[in-house]
Chains A and B, each alone.
Chain A
Protein backbone atom coordinates (compact mmCIF):
# COMPACT_ATOMS: atom_id res chain seq x y z
CA UNK A 1 0.00 0.00 0.00
CA UNK A 2 3.04 2.22 -0.07
CA UNK A 3 2.13 2.94 -3.69
CA UNK A 4 -1.00 4.75 -2.55
CA UNK A 5 1.13 6.99 -0.40
CA UNK A 6 3.39 7.64 -3.36
CA UNK A 7 0.39 9.04 -5.16
CA UNK A 8 0.07 6.37 -7.87
CA UNK A 9 -3.42 5.45 -9.11
CA UNK A 10 -3.78 1.89 -7.88
CA UNK A 11 -6.07 -1.11 -8.02
CA UNK A 12 -6.87 -3.44 -5.17
CA UNK A 13 -8.70 -6.75 -5.47
CA UNK A 14 -10.85 -8.82 -3.19
CA UNK A 15 -10.59 -12.45 -2.11
CA UNK A 16 -13.20 -14.26 -0.09
CA UNK A 17 -12.21 -17.29 1.99
CA UNK A 18 -15.34 -19.37 2.47
CA UNK A 19 -16.48 -22.35 4.53
CA UNK A 20 -13.49 -24.50 3.68
CA UNK A 21 -10.01 -25.42 4.82
CA UNK A 22 -8.65 -25.44 1.26
CA UNK A 23 -7.27 -22.17 -0.05
CA UNK A 24 -5.89 -23.47 -3.36
CA UNK A 25 -8.44 -21.56 -5.46
CA UNK A 26 -7.98 -18.38 -3.46
CA UNK A 27 -4.22 -18.53 -3.92
CA UNK A 28 -4.68 -19.12 -7.66
CA UNK A 29 -7.05 -16.12 -7.85
CA UNK A 30 -4.44 -13.99 -6.09
CA UNK A 31 -1.74 -15.11 -8.53
CA UNK A 32 -3.91 -13.97 -11.47
CA UNK A 33 -4.06 -10.49 -9.97
CA UNK A 34 -0.31 -10.16 -9.40
CA UNK A 35 1.06 -7.24 -11.35
CA UNK A 36 -2.41 -5.77 -11.77
CA UNK A 37 -3.50 -5.09 -8.19
CA UNK A 38 -1.15 -3.67 -5.57
CA UNK A 39 -2.93 -5.68 -2.89
CA UNK A 40 -5.96 -7.83 -2.26
CA UNK A 41 -8.44 -7.52 0.56
CA UNK A 42 -9.19 -10.77 2.32
CA UNK A 43 -12.71 -10.66 3.65
CA UNK A 44 -13.58 -11.42 7.26
CA UNK A 45 -16.83 -13.36 7.58
CA UNK A 46 -18.67 -11.20 5.00
CA UNK A 47 -22.37 -10.74 5.71
CA UNK A 48 -21.64 -12.45 9.03
CA UNK A 49 -21.18 -15.84 7.41
CA UNK A 50 -18.98 -18.16 9.50
CA UNK A 51 -16.07 -18.63 7.11
CA UNK A 52 -12.38 -19.35 7.44
CA UNK A 53 -10.36 -16.85 9.46
CA UNK A 54 -9.29 -13.88 7.36
CA UNK A 55 -6.01 -13.76 9.25
CA UNK A 56 -5.08 -17.31 8.31
CA UNK A 57 -6.23 -16.75 4.72
CA UNK A 58 -4.29 -13.47 4.46
CA UNK A 59 -1.15 -15.19 5.65
CA UNK A 60 -1.47 -18.18 3.31
CA UNK A 61 -2.31 -16.00 0.30
CA UNK A 62 0.69 -13.74 0.98
CA UNK A 63 2.99 -16.73 1.52
CA UNK A 64 1.86 -18.83 -1.43
CA UNK A 65 1.02 -16.23 -4.05
CA UNK A 66 3.22 -13.29 -3.19
CA UNK A 67 0.21 -10.97 -3.27
CA UNK A 68 0.19 -8.34 -0.53
CA UNK A 69 -3.00 -8.63 1.50
CA UNK A 70 -5.32 -6.18 3.20
CA UNK A 71 -6.45 -8.13 6.24
CA UNK A 72 -10.08 -7.28 6.91
CA UNK A 73 -10.97 -7.32 10.58
CA UNK A 74 -14.50 -6.99 11.98
CA UNK A 75 -15.63 -5.95 15.41
CA UNK A 76 -18.81 -8.04 15.18
CA UNK A 77 -17.20 -11.26 16.36
CA UNK A 78 -14.35 -10.24 18.65
CA UNK A 79 -13.98 -8.21 21.80
CA UNK A 80 -11.04 -5.88 22.31
CA UNK A 81 -8.91 -8.67 23.79
CA UNK A 82 -9.43 -10.91 20.76
CA UNK A 83 -8.85 -7.99 18.36
CA UNK A 84 -5.58 -7.10 20.07
CA UNK A 85 -4.55 -10.73 20.06
CA UNK A 86 -5.31 -11.21 16.36
CA UNK A 87 -3.52 -7.98 15.47
CA UNK A 88 -0.39 -9.13 17.30
CA UNK A 89 -0.68 -12.41 15.38
CA UNK A 90 -1.06 -10.50 12.14
CA UNK A 91 2.09 -8.54 12.93
CA UNK A 92 3.98 -11.78 13.53
CA UNK A 93 2.75 -13.19 10.21
CA UNK A 94 3.94 -10.20 8.23
CA UNK A 95 0.54 -8.70 7.48
CA UNK A 96 1.07 -5.04 6.63
CA UNK A 97 -2.43 -3.71 5.94
CA UNK A 98 -5.59 -3.90 8.01
CA UNK A 99 -9.05 -2.76 6.99
CA UNK A 100 -10.85 -1.91 10.22
CA UNK A 101 -14.53 -2.76 9.96
CA UNK A 102 -17.44 -2.64 12.33
CA UNK A 103 -18.92 -5.58 10.44
CA UNK A 104 -22.41 -6.73 9.64
CA UNK A 105 -24.73 -7.63 12.46
CA UNK A 106 -24.50 -11.30 13.36
CA UNK A 107 -28.25 -11.80 12.93
CA UNK A 108 -27.83 -11.30 9.16
CA UNK A 109 -25.50 -14.27 8.68
CA UNK A 110 -25.67 -18.04 8.86
CA UNK A 111 -25.35 -18.10 12.65
CA UNK A 112 -28.20 -15.64 13.24
CA UNK A 113 -28.56 -16.59 16.90
CA UNK A 114 -24.94 -15.94 17.83
CA UNK A 115 -23.91 -13.14 20.17
CA UNK A 116 -23.02 -9.86 18.44
CA UNK A 117 -19.93 -8.41 20.13
CA UNK A 118 -19.23 -4.82 18.98
CA UNK A 119 -17.04 -4.13 22.00
CA UNK A 120 -15.30 -1.66 19.66
CA UNK A 121 -16.53 -0.02 16.49
CA UNK A 122 -14.46 0.55 13.36
CA UNK A 123 -13.26 3.99 14.51
CA UNK A 124 -12.21 2.59 17.86
CA UNK A 125 -10.46 -0.29 16.11
CA UNK A 126 -8.48 2.29 14.13
CA UNK A 127 -7.64 3.94 17.45
CA UNK A 128 -6.43 0.61 18.88
CA UNK A 129 -4.28 -0.10 15.80
CA UNK A 130 -2.77 3.39 15.90
CA UNK A 131 -1.85 2.97 19.55
CA UNK A 132 -0.21 -0.35 18.78
CA UNK A 133 1.66 0.96 15.76
CA UNK A 134 2.51 4.52 16.76
CA UNK A 135 2.95 4.23 20.49
CA UNK A 136 3.81 0.56 20.85
CA UNK A 137 1.13 0.05 23.48
CA UNK A 138 -2.20 -1.74 23.71
CA UNK A 139 -5.60 -0.18 24.32
CA UNK A 140 -4.87 0.36 27.99
CA UNK A 141 -1.34 1.65 27.50
CA UNK A 142 0.56 -1.53 28.28
CA UNK A 143 3.78 -1.77 26.27
CA UNK A 144 4.04 -4.25 23.41
CA UNK A 145 7.37 -5.91 22.77
CA UNK A 146 8.12 -5.55 19.06
CA UNK A 147 4.98 -3.56 18.13
CA UNK A 148 3.37 -4.40 14.78
CA UNK A 149 3.55 -2.13 11.75
CA UNK A 150 0.33 -1.74 9.81
CA UNK A 151 -1.29 0.61 7.35
CA UNK A 152 -4.86 0.97 8.48
CA UNK A 153 -7.82 1.61 6.25
CA UNK A 154 -11.56 1.96 6.71
CA UNK A 155 -14.70 1.52 4.66
CA UNK A 156 -16.90 4.35 3.43
CA UNK A 157 -20.41 4.26 2.06
CA UNK A 158 -21.04 6.77 -0.74
CA UNK A 159 -24.60 5.45 -1.11
CA UNK A 160 -25.49 6.56 2.43
CA UNK A 161 -28.52 8.74 2.87
CA UNK A 162 -28.07 11.23 4.44
CA UNK A 163 -24.55 11.45 3.02
CA UNK A 164 -23.54 14.22 5.45
CA UNK A 165 -23.73 11.93 8.45
CA UNK A 166 -21.52 9.39 6.66
CA UNK A 167 -18.96 12.03 5.68
CA UNK A 168 -18.79 13.36 9.23
CA UNK A 169 -18.38 9.82 10.51
CA UNK A 170 -15.46 9.33 8.11
CA UNK A 171 -13.98 12.54 9.46
CA UNK A 172 -13.90 10.85 12.88
CA UNK A 173 -12.24 7.77 11.43
CA UNK A 174 -9.62 9.82 9.60
CA UNK A 175 -8.91 11.83 12.74
CA UNK A 176 -8.55 8.56 14.62
CA UNK A 177 -5.78 7.67 12.16
CA UNK A 178 -7.24 5.91 9.11
CA UNK A 179 -4.74 6.11 6.23
CA UNK A 180 -7.01 5.10 3.36
CA UNK A 181 -10.68 4.57 2.58
CA UNK A 182 -12.16 1.83 0.40
CA UNK A 183 -15.76 2.42 -0.53
CA UNK A 184 -18.73 0.13 -0.78
CA UNK A 185 -19.90 -0.77 -4.27
CA UNK A 186 -20.81 2.12 -6.56
CA UNK A 187 -22.45 1.83 -9.96
CA UNK A 188 -23.38 5.46 -10.46
CA UNK A 189 -20.35 7.58 -11.28
CA UNK A 190 -22.09 10.74 -10.09
CA UNK A 191 -22.42 9.21 -6.61
CA UNK A 192 -18.69 8.46 -6.70
CA UNK A 193 -17.86 12.01 -7.77
CA UNK A 194 -20.03 13.61 -5.08
CA UNK A 195 -18.47 11.41 -2.44
CA UNK A 196 -14.93 12.13 -3.61
CA UNK A 197 -15.61 15.85 -3.65
CA UNK A 198 -16.91 15.71 -0.08
CA UNK A 199 -13.89 13.68 1.03
CA UNK A 200 -11.27 15.97 -0.52
CA UNK A 201 -11.06 18.13 2.59
CA UNK A 202 -9.88 15.20 4.70
CA UNK A 203 -6.90 14.55 2.44
CA UNK A 204 -7.08 10.80 2.72
CA UNK A 205 -6.66 8.44 -0.24
CA UNK A 206 -10.02 7.04 -1.37
CA UNK A 207 -10.38 3.90 -3.47
CA UNK A 208 -13.72 3.63 -5.23
CA UNK A 209 -15.35 0.22 -4.92
CA UNK A 210 -16.68 -1.43 -8.05
CA UNK A 211 -18.31 -4.79 -8.54
CA UNK A 212 -17.97 -6.34 -12.02
CA UNK A 213 -21.01 -8.50 -12.70
CA UNK A 214 -20.05 -12.08 -13.40
CA UNK A 215 -23.46 -13.02 -14.79
CA UNK A 216 -27.06 -11.88 -14.92
CA UNK A 217 -27.99 -13.76 -11.73
CA UNK A 218 -25.39 -11.80 -9.78
CA UNK A 219 -26.56 -8.53 -11.31
CA UNK A 220 -30.20 -9.26 -10.56
CA UNK A 221 -29.42 -10.36 -7.00
CA UNK A 222 -27.39 -7.23 -6.42
CA UNK A 223 -30.11 -5.00 -7.74
CA UNK A 224 -32.86 -6.65 -5.73
CA UNK A 225 -31.23 -7.61 -2.48
CA UNK A 226 -28.27 -5.38 -1.74
CA UNK A 227 -29.78 -2.48 0.17
CA UNK A 228 -29.21 1.01 -1.15
CA UNK A 229 -27.42 -0.20 -4.31
CA UNK A 230 -29.07 -0.29 -7.71
CA UNK A 231 -27.61 -1.68 -10.90
CA UNK A 232 -28.29 0.81 -13.70
CA UNK A 233 -31.29 -0.31 -15.76
CA UNK A 234 -29.49 -0.37 -19.12
CA UNK A 235 -26.61 -2.39 -17.66
CA UNK A 236 -29.08 -4.84 -16.13
CA UNK A 237 -30.94 -5.12 -19.44
CA UNK A 238 -27.71 -5.86 -21.32
CA UNK A 239 -26.83 -8.55 -18.78
CA UNK A 240 -30.27 -10.10 -19.15
CA UNK A 241 -29.93 -10.12 -22.90
CA UNK A 242 -26.55 -11.81 -22.61
CA UNK A 243 -27.97 -14.43 -20.27
CA UNK A 244 -30.17 -15.65 -23.09
CA UNK A 245 -27.20 -16.60 -25.30
CA UNK A 246 -27.21 -20.38 -25.59
CA UNK A 247 -23.50 -20.99 -26.17
CA UNK A 248 -21.76 -20.88 -22.79
CA UNK A 249 -18.44 -19.55 -24.09
CA UNK A 250 -20.10 -16.82 -26.13
CA UNK A 251 -22.25 -15.89 -23.16
CA UNK A 252 -19.20 -15.48 -20.93
CA UNK A 253 -17.48 -13.42 -23.60
CA UNK A 254 -20.52 -11.17 -23.87
CA UNK A 255 -20.66 -10.71 -20.08
CA UNK A 256 -16.99 -9.74 -20.11
CA UNK A 257 -17.59 -7.36 -23.00
CA UNK A 258 -20.46 -5.63 -21.16
CA UNK A 259 -18.37 -5.22 -18.02
CA UNK A 260 -15.37 -3.89 -19.92
CA UNK A 261 -17.57 -1.48 -21.82
CA UNK A 262 -19.25 -0.18 -18.64
CA UNK A 263 -16.32 -0.14 -16.26
CA UNK A 264 -13.69 0.86 -18.81
CA UNK A 265 -15.27 4.30 -19.12
CA UNK A 266 -16.16 4.44 -15.43
CA UNK A 267 -12.63 3.72 -14.25
CA UNK A 268 -11.07 5.99 -16.88
CA UNK A 269 -13.23 8.87 -15.72
CA UNK A 270 -12.47 8.22 -12.04
CA UNK A 271 -8.74 8.01 -12.75
CA UNK A 272 -8.50 11.11 -14.88
CA UNK A 273 -11.11 13.50 -13.55
CA UNK A 274 -11.42 12.91 -9.82
CA UNK A 275 -9.26 12.90 -6.73
CA UNK A 276 -9.61 9.13 -6.20
CA UNK A 277 -6.45 7.25 -5.27
CA UNK A 278 -7.58 4.14 -7.03
CA UNK A 279 -10.19 1.49 -7.58
CA UNK A 280 -11.10 -1.39 -5.33
CA UNK A 281 -12.27 -4.16 -7.66
CA UNK A 282 -14.57 -6.58 -5.88
CA UNK A 283 -14.49 -9.23 -8.58
CA UNK A 284 -14.87 -12.16 -6.22
CA UNK A 285 -14.56 -15.43 -8.21
CA UNK A 286 -14.40 -13.26 -11.37
CA UNK A 287 -10.81 -12.12 -11.21
CA UNK A 288 -10.24 -12.86 -14.93
CA UNK A 289 -12.02 -9.57 -15.66
CA UNK A 290 -9.63 -7.41 -13.63
CA UNK A 291 -6.53 -7.34 -15.91
CA UNK A 292 -8.46 -6.51 -19.14
CA UNK A 293 -10.59 -4.01 -17.22
CA UNK A 294 -7.50 -2.14 -16.05
CA UNK A 295 -6.11 -2.19 -19.56
CA UNK A 296 -9.40 -1.04 -21.00
CA UNK A 297 -9.54 1.95 -18.64
CA UNK A 298 -6.36 3.38 -20.23
CA UNK A 299 -4.95 4.83 -17.02
Chain B
Protein backbone atom coordinates (compact mmCIF):
# COMPACT_ATOMS: atom_id res chain seq x y z
CA UNK B 1 0.00 0.00 0.00
CA UNK B 2 0.94 3.64 -0.29
CA UNK B 3 2.42 5.07 2.88
CA UNK B 4 3.29 8.48 4.21
CA UNK B 5 3.61 10.53 7.35
CA UNK B 6 1.86 13.65 8.48
CA UNK B 7 3.64 16.95 8.09
CA UNK B 8 4.59 18.77 11.27
CA UNK B 9 1.67 20.65 12.77
CA UNK B 10 3.67 23.88 12.75
CA UNK B 11 4.24 23.54 9.01
CA UNK B 12 0.58 22.78 8.38
CA UNK B 13 -0.56 25.76 10.46
CA UNK B 14 1.75 27.99 8.46
CA UNK B 15 0.26 26.65 5.23
CA UNK B 16 -3.40 27.21 6.21
CA UNK B 17 -3.06 30.29 8.39
CA UNK B 18 -4.94 32.61 6.05
CA UNK B 19 -8.18 30.59 5.97
CA UNK B 20 -11.23 30.93 8.22
CA UNK B 21 -12.69 27.57 7.39
CA UNK B 22 -11.14 24.30 6.34
CA UNK B 23 -12.42 20.91 5.27
CA UNK B 24 -9.98 18.21 6.44
CA UNK B 25 -10.58 15.19 4.24
CA UNK B 26 -9.32 11.72 5.12
CA UNK B 27 -8.92 8.69 2.89
CA UNK B 28 -10.02 5.24 4.02
CA UNK B 29 -7.75 3.56 1.45
CA UNK B 30 -4.09 2.78 2.10
CA UNK B 31 -3.36 5.63 4.52
CA UNK B 32 -6.61 4.97 6.37
CA UNK B 33 -5.83 1.31 6.87
CA UNK B 34 -2.43 2.21 8.27
CA UNK B 35 -4.01 4.90 10.48
CA UNK B 36 -1.95 7.64 8.91
CA UNK B 37 -4.64 9.60 7.09
CA UNK B 38 -8.07 8.03 7.61
CA UNK B 39 -11.19 9.65 9.09
CA UNK B 40 -9.89 9.48 12.68
CA UNK B 41 -6.65 11.17 11.70
CA UNK B 42 -8.58 13.79 9.73
CA UNK B 43 -10.76 14.48 12.79
CA UNK B 44 -7.77 14.74 15.03
CA UNK B 45 -5.99 17.06 12.59
CA UNK B 46 -9.08 19.29 12.30
CA UNK B 47 -9.14 19.69 16.11
CA UNK B 48 -5.41 20.35 16.27
CA UNK B 49 -5.59 22.98 13.55
CA UNK B 50 -8.38 24.82 15.36
CA UNK B 51 -6.66 24.54 18.71
CA UNK B 52 -3.21 25.36 17.42
CA UNK B 53 -4.50 28.32 15.56
CA UNK B 54 -6.06 29.80 18.67
CA UNK B 55 -2.72 29.53 20.42
CA UNK B 56 -0.99 31.26 17.54
CA UNK B 57 -3.81 33.83 17.12
CA UNK B 58 -4.55 32.74 13.59
CA UNK B 59 -7.83 33.03 11.76
CA UNK B 60 -9.05 29.42 11.39
CA UNK B 61 -12.48 29.37 13.03
CA UNK B 62 -13.94 26.24 11.57
CA UNK B 63 -12.24 22.96 10.61
CA UNK B 64 -14.45 19.98 9.94
CA UNK B 65 -13.43 16.40 9.12
CA UNK B 66 -14.74 14.28 6.22
CA UNK B 67 -13.61 11.09 4.58
CA UNK B 68 -13.72 9.23 1.26
CA UNK B 69 -13.36 5.49 0.71
CA UNK B 70 -10.59 6.22 -1.78
CA UNK B 71 -9.44 9.72 -2.62
CA UNK B 72 -7.76 8.45 -5.79
CA UNK B 73 -11.19 7.91 -7.37
CA UNK B 74 -12.98 10.93 -8.83
CA UNK B 75 -16.37 9.26 -8.89
CA UNK B 76 -16.17 8.25 -5.24
CA UNK B 77 -15.12 11.75 -4.23
CA UNK B 78 -18.03 13.29 -6.13
CA UNK B 79 -20.47 10.74 -4.73
CA UNK B 80 -19.38 11.06 -1.12
CA UNK B 81 -18.46 14.74 -0.88
CA UNK B 82 -20.52 16.38 -3.63
CA UNK B 83 -21.85 19.72 -2.28
CA UNK B 84 -20.60 19.14 1.26
CA UNK B 85 -17.46 21.22 0.96
CA UNK B 86 -18.96 24.32 -0.64
CA UNK B 87 -18.91 26.40 2.56
CA UNK B 88 -15.20 25.84 3.23
CA UNK B 89 -12.53 28.16 1.94
CA UNK B 90 -9.89 25.49 1.45
CA UNK B 91 -9.33 21.75 1.73
CA UNK B 92 -6.65 19.86 3.63
CA UNK B 93 -6.26 16.28 2.42
CA UNK B 94 -4.73 13.55 4.53
CA UNK B 95 -4.50 11.24 1.52
CA UNK B 96 -1.38 10.40 -0.47
CA UNK B 97 -0.25 12.65 -3.30
CA UNK B 98 -2.54 10.81 -5.69
CA UNK B 99 -5.53 11.63 -3.50
CA UNK B 100 -4.53 15.27 -3.12
CA UNK B 101 -4.25 15.70 -6.87
CA UNK B 102 -7.52 13.89 -7.55
CA UNK B 103 -9.29 16.09 -4.98
CA UNK B 104 -7.80 19.18 -6.63
CA UNK B 105 -9.09 17.99 -10.00
CA UNK B 106 -12.61 17.52 -8.58
CA UNK B 107 -12.76 20.73 -6.52
CA UNK B 108 -11.39 23.01 -9.18
CA UNK B 109 -12.29 26.25 -7.38
CA UNK B 110 -10.58 25.36 -4.09
CA UNK B 111 -7.00 24.98 -3.02
CA UNK B 112 -6.19 21.49 -1.73
CA UNK B 113 -3.29 21.26 0.70
CA UNK B 114 -1.39 18.06 1.44
CA UNK B 115 -1.31 17.11 5.11
CA UNK B 116 0.97 14.14 4.44
CA UNK B 117 4.38 13.67 2.94
CA UNK B 118 3.74 10.64 0.73
CA UNK B 119 6.56 8.15 1.07
CA UNK B 120 6.46 4.75 -0.60
CA UNK B 121 4.69 1.54 -1.54
CA UNK B 122 5.20 -0.91 1.27
CA UNK B 123 3.79 -3.17 3.91
CA UNK B 124 3.94 -3.71 7.64
CA UNK B 125 6.37 -6.08 9.27
CA UNK B 126 4.90 -9.00 11.18
CA UNK B 127 4.97 -7.15 14.46
CA UNK B 128 3.17 -4.22 12.87
CA UNK B 129 5.78 -1.88 14.27
CA UNK B 130 7.16 -0.54 11.03
CA UNK B 131 6.25 -0.08 7.40
CA UNK B 132 8.81 -1.18 4.83
CA UNK B 133 9.28 0.00 1.28
CA UNK B 134 8.92 -3.03 -0.97
CA UNK B 135 8.21 -1.80 -4.49
CA UNK B 136 9.34 1.16 -6.56
CA UNK B 137 7.04 0.48 -9.48
CA UNK B 138 10.12 0.36 -11.76
CA UNK B 139 8.14 -1.08 -14.67
CA UNK B 140 10.43 -4.06 -15.25
CA UNK B 141 9.85 -6.61 -12.50
CA UNK B 142 12.61 -9.11 -11.69
CA UNK B 143 11.11 -10.72 -8.58
CA UNK B 144 11.01 -14.12 -10.30
CA UNK B 145 14.81 -13.94 -10.62
CA UNK B 146 15.60 -12.74 -7.11
CA UNK B 147 13.71 -15.03 -4.78
CA UNK B 148 10.79 -12.66 -4.42
CA UNK B 149 12.98 -9.90 -2.91
CA UNK B 150 13.19 -6.66 -4.86
CA UNK B 151 16.78 -5.45 -5.38
CA UNK B 152 15.62 -2.26 -7.07
CA UNK B 153 13.81 -1.18 -3.92
CA UNK B 154 15.37 -2.99 -1.00
CA UNK B 155 18.99 -2.52 -2.06
CA UNK B 156 19.88 1.11 -1.24
CA UNK B 157 21.74 1.31 -4.54
CA UNK B 158 19.12 -0.56 -6.57
CA UNK B 159 21.77 -2.93 -7.90
CA UNK B 160 20.96 -5.70 -10.35
CA UNK B 161 24.29 -7.43 -9.70
CA UNK B 162 24.75 -7.08 -5.97
CA UNK B 163 25.84 -7.17 -3.23
CA UNK B 164 28.07 -4.10 -3.27
CA UNK B 165 30.30 -5.00 -0.33
CA UNK B 166 28.84 -2.38 2.00
CA UNK B 167 27.17 -4.78 4.40
CA UNK B 168 28.33 -6.13 7.74
CA UNK B 169 26.64 -9.16 9.28
CA UNK B 170 23.98 -8.92 6.57
CA UNK B 171 23.10 -5.32 7.41
CA UNK B 172 23.46 -2.44 4.96
CA UNK B 173 25.77 0.48 5.70
CA UNK B 174 23.09 2.84 4.43
CA UNK B 175 20.76 3.43 7.37
CA UNK B 176 23.47 2.71 9.93
CA UNK B 177 23.26 -1.07 9.72
CA UNK B 178 19.59 -1.31 10.66
CA UNK B 179 18.33 -2.55 7.28
CA UNK B 180 18.93 -5.98 5.83
CA UNK B 181 21.22 -6.13 2.82
CA UNK B 182 18.77 -7.12 0.08
CA UNK B 183 21.45 -9.04 -1.80
CA UNK B 184 22.38 -11.13 1.22
CA UNK B 185 18.67 -11.94 1.59
CA UNK B 186 18.47 -12.79 -2.11
CA UNK B 187 21.55 -15.00 -1.87
CA UNK B 188 20.22 -16.87 1.16
CA UNK B 189 16.79 -17.31 -0.40
CA UNK B 190 18.09 -18.54 -3.76
CA UNK B 191 20.51 -20.85 -1.98
CA UNK B 192 17.67 -22.35 0.05
CA UNK B 193 15.71 -22.80 -3.18
CA UNK B 194 18.74 -24.44 -4.83
CA UNK B 195 18.64 -21.70 -7.45
CA UNK B 196 22.07 -20.08 -7.13
CA UNK B 197 22.21 -20.25 -10.92
CA UNK B 198 19.92 -17.21 -10.82
CA UNK B 199 22.28 -15.46 -8.41
CA UNK B 200 25.35 -16.02 -10.57
CA UNK B 201 23.67 -14.85 -13.77
CA UNK B 202 25.05 -11.48 -14.83
CA UNK B 203 22.29 -8.95 -15.48
CA UNK B 204 22.84 -6.47 -18.30
CA UNK B 205 22.31 -2.72 -17.81
CA UNK B 206 18.66 -1.75 -17.61
CA UNK B 207 16.57 0.17 -20.03
CA UNK B 208 15.29 2.81 -17.60
CA UNK B 209 12.48 4.04 -19.81
CA UNK B 210 9.74 1.98 -18.10
CA UNK B 211 10.49 3.88 -14.88
CA UNK B 212 10.62 7.36 -16.35
CA UNK B 213 7.96 9.83 -15.25
CA UNK B 214 5.34 10.80 -16.10
CA UNK B 215 3.92 7.37 -16.90
CA UNK B 216 0.46 6.38 -18.03
CA UNK B 217 -1.49 3.25 -18.84
CA UNK B 218 -3.99 2.84 -21.59
CA UNK B 219 -7.46 1.84 -20.50
CA UNK B 220 -7.51 1.53 -16.73
CA UNK B 221 -10.57 -0.75 -16.61
CA UNK B 222 -13.03 0.01 -13.82
CA UNK B 223 -13.14 -2.63 -11.09
Contacts and interface: CB of A to CB of B under 8 A. Distances in A.
Interface string B98-139: 000000000000000000000000000000000000000000
A175 B202 contact: yes
A164 B196 CA distance: 11
Nearest to A227: B168
A197 B111 CA distance: 66
B202 A172 contact: yes
B160 A121 contact: yes
B157 A121 contact: yes
Interface residues of B, number: 32
B165 A157 contact: yes
Interface stretch (B47-55, B73-81, B170-178): B170-178
Contacts of B177: 227
A168 interface: yes
B169 interface: yes
A144 interface: no
Nearest to A168: B200
A165 B173 contact: no
Of the candidates B159, B160, B162, B169, the one having the most CB atoms from chain A within 10 angstroms of its own CB is B159
Contact of A118 (B158, B168, B183): B158
Interface in A202-255: 227-228
B83 interface: no
Most chain A CB inside 10 Å of its own CB: which residue of B158, B159, B165: B165
Interface in B133-173: 156-170, 173
Nearest to A164: B187
B13 interface: no
B39 interface: no
B161 A165 contact: no
A106 to B, nearest CB: 9
Nearest to A124: B205
Contact of A116 (B157, B183, B187): B157
Interface residues of A, number: 37
Contact of B205 (A80, A108, A169): A80
A118 to B, nearest CB: 5
A105 B160 contact: no
Contacts of A168: 187, 196, 199-200
A162 B187 contact: yes
A104 B173 CA distance: 9
B1 interface: no
B165 A166 contact: yes
Nearest to B173: A227
A128 B201 CA distance: 17
A161 B156 contact: no
Interface of B: 156-170, 173-174, 177, 183-184, 187-188, 196, 199-206, 208
24 contacts: A76-B157, A80-B205, A102-B157, A102-B159, A104-B173, A105-B156, A105-B174, A108-B173, A118-B157, A118-B159, A119-B205, A119-B208, A121-B159, A124-B161, A124-B204, A155-B165, A161-B168, A161-B170, A162-B188, A165-B183, A165-B187, A169-B161, A173-B161, A227-B177
Given A165-B163, A165-B199, A227-B177, 12 more contacts: A102-B159, A105-B156, A124-B160, A124-B205, A127-B202, A139-B205, A160-B163, A165-B183, A172-B200, A172-B202, A175-B202, A227-B168
